[in-house]
Each structure stands twice: as structure tokens, then as C-alpha cells.
Amino acid sequence: MRIILVSGPGSGREAYIKALREFGVAFDVSESLLDLSEMHNQVRCNGFIIDVPTLLRSGAADKAEANLLMDNFPVLRINYNASSGIRGIPSGRFSGTSGDLKTFILESCNSFPARSLRGTKRANKVLNVILNRDLNSPGSQIEKSVTLNFSTEGGFFFSVSNWKKGDYAWIVVKELDDKTPIKSLVQWVVPWGRLNHFPGIGVQFLNISNQQADQIDEFIRGKKELK
């Protein structure tokens, strides 16, 4: 289990670090939400602890980043006072109801699967892809498709074929430099004919390479043009 603490320098951060060490939990420290996005984007963690004064000093873009965290991770907003100690407010659907730091870590974070911050960021952009049910199958098992949205951990792909949850797909993305097929697991299916829905499959990437994930992240953040 790994926790990321977001806190500027001061007595509060020292108290938080002391408590985390006493709990024996692995953790990283980020001085700001901006630093978090730039320096810890690929770190897989089980939750975030955010110092309230640090959050209040943040700009609008950083506060939007905090909202993204609350939507996708266990998050505890905490404050430190020399007389009353550390007090917390759980924030978001994964964070439980206890404001106690130890309870938050042992219950909310310990039960949450580790994921990276960049994996929560999704783009509603079109990539051209090939869906293959079996790498050893004939050409009839191959389907041309496009993404409706994607992240470094998966995406939703247009399809009118007969897929079911639990199927495996091997996906080749035309726009990626590394065109090694990405083994993926179908997590949900939207069948053709459902009102106001695109038909397709939502998949989880199982063996995406670092090069592929880095390039997808660049597409999402607009640092690399789609060609």
C-alpha cells in the first residue's frame, strides 16, 4: 500500500509524516497539487492525504485536480493544530466516513486497488484501432474500430460485434508508434440498438507497454498531436 501526502512545508507536514511512519505505511510527499501532477503522475497509489491550508493556497486549476482525485481515489483532507492534533474530513465516494487518519488508511486505502494518477485522466478523442479476438485467428476475427474515449488504463471502443463481459481482445492502435497488440479485458458491453448509446465495449488494458502508455498520456494532455 502506498499513500501520497500533499502538503507544503511546516509543522503540519512534519506531524503528518511522523504519523505515517508510526503506521508503517509507504508514502510519498508532494509540496503542491501542481507538483503532484508533474512529479507523481505515474506512481501507483491507494489514496491521497491533502493538507487543507495547502489546498486553500492552490489556484483554480489545482483545485480542479483535487476534485479529480476525489472522484477516483480515497481522499482525506486534513488539518493540524498543536493542541488538537490531526483532524480529517473524508472526501469522495471511495473515502469512507471516518475522519481519523489511521482508520482512513487501514480501511479506505487498504481496500482500494492501487492505480496511477494518469490512469484517471481520460480523453474523448478518436483513435483508429484494430480489435482482434485471437492473435492466432484468421482475418474474419479482426474488426476495424475507433475509440470514443480512452485513458492509459483502458477505453471504450465502437463495435457492433457480439462481445460479452470477460472476453479478451488484442488491440492495435494505429496512431501509436509501438503497434504491439495490447491484451485487454472486456469489462462492459453496450449492444447495438440501445437508445441514445453508441454500441461498443469498455476494456481494461492488461499489458500496455510504458512507451504506449506514455504516448497515450501525451495525447490526453495535448502534448502530442494525433496524426
Q: What is the pLDDT of residues 141-153, one digit of tens each?
A: 789 999 988 888 8
Average pLDDT of 163-178? Answer: 93
Contact in structure between 8 and 34 (CB atoms under 8 Å): no
170 residue type, one letter: W
CA 212 vs CA 46, 116, 154, 176, 217: distances in Å: 23, 15, 12, 7, 9
Residues 95 and 166 in one domain: no
CA 136 vs CA 132, 139, 141, 168, 170: distances in Å: 9, 9, 9, 13, 11
Q: What is the structure's pLDDT at 226? A: 58
Residues 138 and 110 in one domain: no
C-alpha cell belonging to residue 74: 480515497
Q: How many domains does the chain have?
A: 2
* Highest mean predicted confidence (pLDDT) among 128-137, 140-149, 161-170, 205-214: 161-170
Task: Indicate whether 46 pLDDT > 60.
Answer: yes
Beta-strand relationship, 75-81 and 47-51: parallel
Residues 9 and 113 in one domain: yes
CATH of the domain at 156: 2.40.10.220
Structure confidence by residue, pLDDT tens digits, 184-216: 999 999 998 887 888 999 998 999 888 998 899
- For residues 218 and 180, the model is more confident at 180
Give the start-end residues of each E strand in the chain: 2-6, 26-30, 44-45, 47-51, 75-81, 85-91, 115-116, 128-132, 142-150, 154-158, 168-173, 182-190, 200-205
Cβ contacts of 165 within 8 Å, gap of 6 or more: 186, 187, 188, 189
Asked whether residue 226 is domain-assigned, the answer is: no
Q: What is the structure's pLDDT at 114? A: 87
**Secondary structure (3-state) at 190:** strand
Residues 91 and 142 in one domain: no
Residues 82 and 167 in one domain: no
Q: Which residues of 23-33 are buried (b: 16+ CB within 10 A; e: fewer)?
A: eebebebbbbb
